[in-house]
């Protein structure tokens, strides 16, 4: 049975209709789904969204794809995306995303997924589509947007100068200095306009200045 289910569901993450179609030969497919859940053959991430259980898994499930599916519209950003892009060293357990809906957090059997609300205009810019197999994909913030989202989310830091921002990025966020210099100041300036954020504009100016310094030093 499990071999047949694997043949009919080619990937690790799937929705209710997909498994219902895979079990269409059963007289009572809903009861079969309940049985598969009870045995741990499949795991319910949230209502209508599933992954194969650990003993049945052929490959790791895609946490980023699950984040897009659990709550939307959303895309992966903030700390998780910063680590994904290599800007911060620490692995981030919670999959962090931004949304134009309400801020939410979901504790699921496969981990915690958090969503931070940002303005619609800021949400519309700075995302990239990452292609997976079987024609699937997930949405992820580009490095500049992930960092912009993170510094806008910081409350009470009192950052008003480039020096204060630079110290915050290196000491608090542990941003890799080389990766910071590699960011695109023009993209950051565009993101700042969409955000209408002086702090992101400060970041754009900081990255631009660091780029000029690097050029002169070279």
Strand 111-117 to strand 95-99: parallel, antiparallel, or no bridges (unpaired)? parallel
- d(Cα 62, Cα 93) in Å, to the nearest integer? 13
Residue written as tokens 């950052």?
A: 159
pLDDT tens-place string over residues 116-163: 999 999 999 999 999 998 789 999 999 999 999 999 999 876 788 999
Per the prediction, the chain carries an average pLDDT of 92
133 vs 34, residue with greater confidence: 34
- d(Cα 24, Cα 3) in Å, to the nearest integer? 15
Is the full-model pTM beyond 0.85? yes
Q: Which domains does the chain have, with CATH numbers?
A: 2-56 (1.10.10), 63-217 (no CATH)
Query: Above 70 in pLDDT, residue 215?
Result: no
Query: Above 80 in pLDDT, residue 41?
Result: yes
């Amino acid at each position: 049975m499990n071999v047949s289910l694997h043949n009919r569901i080619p990937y690790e993450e799937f929705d209710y209709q997909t498994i219902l179609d895979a079990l269409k030969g059963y007289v009572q497919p809903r009861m079969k789904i309940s049985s598969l859940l009870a045995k741990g053959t499949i795991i319910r991430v949230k209502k209508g969204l599933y992954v194969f259980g650990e003993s049945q898994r052929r490959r790791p499930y895609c946490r980023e794809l699950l984040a897009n599916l659990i709550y939307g519209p959303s895309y992966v950003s903030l700390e998780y995306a910063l680590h994904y892009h290599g800007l911060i060293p620490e692995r981030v357990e919670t999959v962090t995303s931004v949304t134009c809906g309400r801020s939410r957090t979901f504790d699921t059997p496969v981990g915690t997924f958090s969503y931070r609300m940002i303005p619609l205009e800021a949400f519309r810019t700075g995302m990239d589509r990452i292609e997976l197999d079987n024609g699937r994909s997930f949405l992820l913030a580009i490095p500049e947007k992930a960092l912009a989202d993170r510094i806008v989310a910081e409350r009470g830091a009192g950052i008003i100068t480039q020096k204060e921002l630079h110290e915050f990025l290196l000491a608090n966020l542990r941003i890799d200095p080389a990766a910071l210099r590699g960011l695109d100041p023009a993209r950051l300036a565009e993101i700042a306009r969409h955000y209408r954020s002086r702090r992101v504009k400060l970041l754009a100016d900081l990255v631009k200045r660091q780029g000029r310094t690097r050029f002169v030093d070279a």
